[in-house]
Structure 1
Amino acid sequence: MSYTANLNRYDSMPYNRCGRSGLKLPAISLGLWHNFGGVDVFENGRSMLHRAFDLGITHFDLANNYGPPPGSAEENFGKIMKQDFSSYRDELIISTKAGYLMWPGPYGEWGSRKYLLASLNQSLKRMKLEYVDIFYSHRPDPDTPLEETMMALDQAVRQGKALYAGISNYPAEMAKEAARILRQLGTPCLIHQPKYSMFERWVEDGLLDVLEEEGIGCIPFSPLAQGLLTDKYLNGIPEGSRASKSWGFLKPHQVAPAIDKVKKLNQIALQRGQSLAQMALAWLLKDKRVTSVLIGASSVKQLEDNVAVINKLAFTNEELDLIEKILKG
């Protein structure tokens, strides 16, 4: 089946400027952390990517270790890119990262120049790309000087293997220092990708202020707290859900204590005429410092449901106060 993109794909998706850069990102971006690996159904992933682009999602986010097995999400994406998206390359923002374990020995993880640049070369080969739009340091390395890690990102940009540099999982002070180093090198930090949701709010303790000050965009991952902020777990843990899989990051013991809050939040979402997932995404996008929200999806329908958040992004002050009360309760 050959793919031709929807002609109206840019009509309804909002695009937000990323920090003080010239780059705009769609309010909703698609992450390939889950459901695009070697253990997953290839055609399902392909259909989701087609539908995402048709809905105006121009940004696809990957990392070297996405799968399972590690590397397989990039390989699958490379096949789909070649088959379906090669003529649309200049309309796409494709990102990848390096930082977590990828191969054995001392050069297979963390933040050395050796590892980051070797990993980027491998990622480009897997995805059959000449460059990625954004290359991230996936996590800070306590044992490598921050200068070395940032110099590797700068080098990737200067080599033309990445257009922009980003960081992920960096705490506020370290993000500030990373931004300073990159600015001195002449490759400003474009974007930060932190874990952020209604249930995980560490970025509000300083990081968002740093990003605003430095003119860096913010793209939260796990905005639905691994599926907790959906209607999926309202009545226990369903078969086939993330909390039921042995390789998932969401464990059954994390679900039970949150259910009471989830049910109350769900009530507010229903009153707003949207799903809990949509409300959780809108809640992140209400902050102007958040450029885009990174969603995962396991089906085309789930993707469509989440993207429909763009139809109702505004909150009343009463709604926000009530949500805050529930989250702090």
Structure 2
Amino acid sequence: MHINDHNPLPIYHPASDRYDQMNYRRTGKSGLLLPEISLGLWHNFGHNADFTLGRKILRRAFDLGISHFDLANNYGPPYGSAEENFGRIFKKDFLPFRDELIISSKAGWDMWPGPYGNMGSRKYLIASCDQSLKRMGLDYVDIFYHHRPDPETPLEETMGALDQLVRQGKALYVGISQYSAEDTARAYEILKQMGTPLLIHQPRYSMIDRWVEGGLLDVLGEKGIGSIAFSPLEQGMLTDKYLKGIPEDSRAAKDGRYLKPEQIGGEKLEMIRQLNDIAKTRNQTLAQMAIAWLLKDPRITSVLVGVSKPEQLDDNVSAIKNTQFSESEVAKIKEILGA
């Protein structure tokens, strides 16, 4: 296990004006408010990451009013390590502020060997939540998600497991991720009959990947379900990082799990450059405009960002200062996107 924790940080005292830095939105028809920007711990919190840097990122996030930290059982690498490291940071820095935080986890992807460490069975979801709580040193998570649809397991079983976690006090709220519009509506009805509301949906959504506009957002709006969009910057494609090609020190160049060089070129690159030009006229970075573009829709509760250094959070959070788009801007952007 490689964790760089050689640089002890001073005792953490959160910024006193942290809640003035952020806007909060109601999650669907629930009582829960979420920050417009949430922090995902998918990258940069595994055992191969700099532990002290992870602490600095989380501290900066909370100082900016980001009260929601989003994890999953298999975040790392290796699996489970992001939750372990978050648990260590939580104990050092955030224990006194537990009641100011929304902490979420998920299960649904491959986690441990054998038939009970994947997909959507009650066996897997309950066991995974128990493991996540142990790794993070928590009594409960605020939101527990089923991480992806499982076509083989009856939806009643998967939703029944989420309902059970709430009744056991292991989760306050439940959500789903990447479900289709039709399955989301079914999941909502099943949970409603059980007496546990479907709080939130976490879909992949960006200016480039707009599948949610094909019916899912309509279902969320009709049913009063919140939503938190992940990959809003399309793995860094919607930033100014790749305007001149792929830098050698970028994640895309070094790690094939993420953005692939062939994904950024030709027409895609020209589209990104045109979007960047519009962002400049709005006095925003391309990343800020990409986040603002999602937040212009009231059905989006929060946008989930991942960062590799604290300064990127400041850039992301600045997006909330301007989420209004003129009719001409909307028309121009849709034309560029081919929407």
Kindly report which structure 2 residues correspond to 1:16-55, keeping only aligned pairs within 5 A, or say none. 16-55=25-64
Distance in 1, Cα, partners of 2:76 & 2:256: 11
How far residue 248 of structure 1 moved from its aligned partner, in angstroms, is 2.8
The amino acid across from 2:133 in the alignment is L
2:80 pairs, out of 71, 74, 79, with 71
Residue 133 of structure 2 is matched in structure 1 by 124
Distance in 2, Cα, partners of 1:75 & 1:125: 9
Distance in 2, Cα, partners of 1:79 & 1:310: 30
Distance in 2, Cα, partners of 1:137 & 1:93: 17
2:189 pairs, out of 154, 161, 180, with 180
Stretches of structure 1 that go unaligned for 5 or more consecutive residues are none
Distance in 1, Cα, partners of 2:60 & 2:202: 24
Kindly report which structure 2 residues correspond to 1:223-302, keeping only aligned pairs within 5 A, or say none. 223-257=232-266, 258-302=268-312
Distance in 1, Cα, partners of 2:121 & 2:249: 38
DSSP-derived class of the 1:96 partner:
strand
Structure 1 position 8 matched with structure 2 position 17: yes
The amino acid across from 2:54 in the alignment is G
Structure 1 position 206 matched with structure 2 position 206: no
Distance in 1, Cα, partners of 2:217 & 2:284: 27
Distance in 2, Cα, partners of 1:259 & 1:39: 31
What percent of counterpart residues are identical?
65
Instruction: Work out whether residues 28 and 294 of structure 1, in 8 Å CA contact, stay in contact via their aligned partners in 2.
Output: yes
DSSP-derived class of the 2:183 partner:
helix
Q: TM-score under structure 1 normalisation? A: 0.99
How far residue 304 of structure 1 moved from its aligned partner, in angstroms, is 1.0
How far residue 26 of structure 1 moved from its aligned partner, in angstroms, is 0.3
The amino acid across from 1:43 in the alignment is T
2:315 pairs, out of 285, 305, 310, with 305
Kindly report which structure 2 residues correspond to 1:137-216, keeping only aligned pairs within 5 A, or say none. 137-216=146-225
The amino acid across from 2:274 in the alignment is K
Structure 1 position 318 matched with structure 2 position 328: yes
Residue 7 of structure 2 is matched in structure 1 by none
Residue 5 of structure 2 is matched in structure 1 by none
For 1:70-109, what per-residue CA distance to the aligned partner results, in whole angstroms no more than 9, with x for missing partners? 1110001000000000000000000000000010000010
Instruction: Work out whether residues 132 and 161 of structure 1, in 8 Å CA contact, stay in contact via their aligned partners in 2.
Output: yes
Residue 230 of structure 2 is matched in structure 1 by 221
Question: Larger deviation: 248-257 or 213-222?
Answer: 248-257
How far residue 313 of structure 1 moved from its aligned partner, in angstroms, is 1.6
The amino acid across from 1:275 in the alignment is T
The amino acid across from 1:36 in the alignment is F
For 1:114-150, what per-residue CA distance to the aligned partner results, in whole angstroms no more than 9, with x for missing partners? 0000000000000000000000000011110000000
Distance in 2, Cα, partners of 1:238 & 1:191: 36
Distance in 1, Cα, partners of 2:307 & 2:44: 7
Instruction: Work out whether residues 242 and 248 of structure 1, in 8 Å CA contact, stay in contact via their aligned partners in 2.
Output: no
The amino acid across from 1:15 in the alignment is Y
Instruction: Work out whether residues 194 and 218 of structure 1, in 8 Å CA contact, stay in contact via their aligned partners in 2.
Output: yes
Moved segments of 4+, more than 4 Å: none
How far residue 247 of structure 1 moved from its aligned partner, in angstroms, is 4.6
Stretches of structure 2 that go unaligned for 5 or more consecutive residues are 1-9
The amino acid across from 1:271 in the alignment is T
Residue 3 of structure 2 is matched in structure 1 by none
Q: TM-score under structure 2 normalisation? A: 0.96
Instruction: Work out whether residues 179 and 188 of structure 1, in 8 Å CA contact, stay in contact via their aligned partners in 2.
Output: yes
DSSP-derived class of the 1:63 partner:
coil
DSSP-derived class of the 2:176 partner:
strand
How far residue 311 of structure 1 moved from its aligned partner, in angstroms, is 1.7
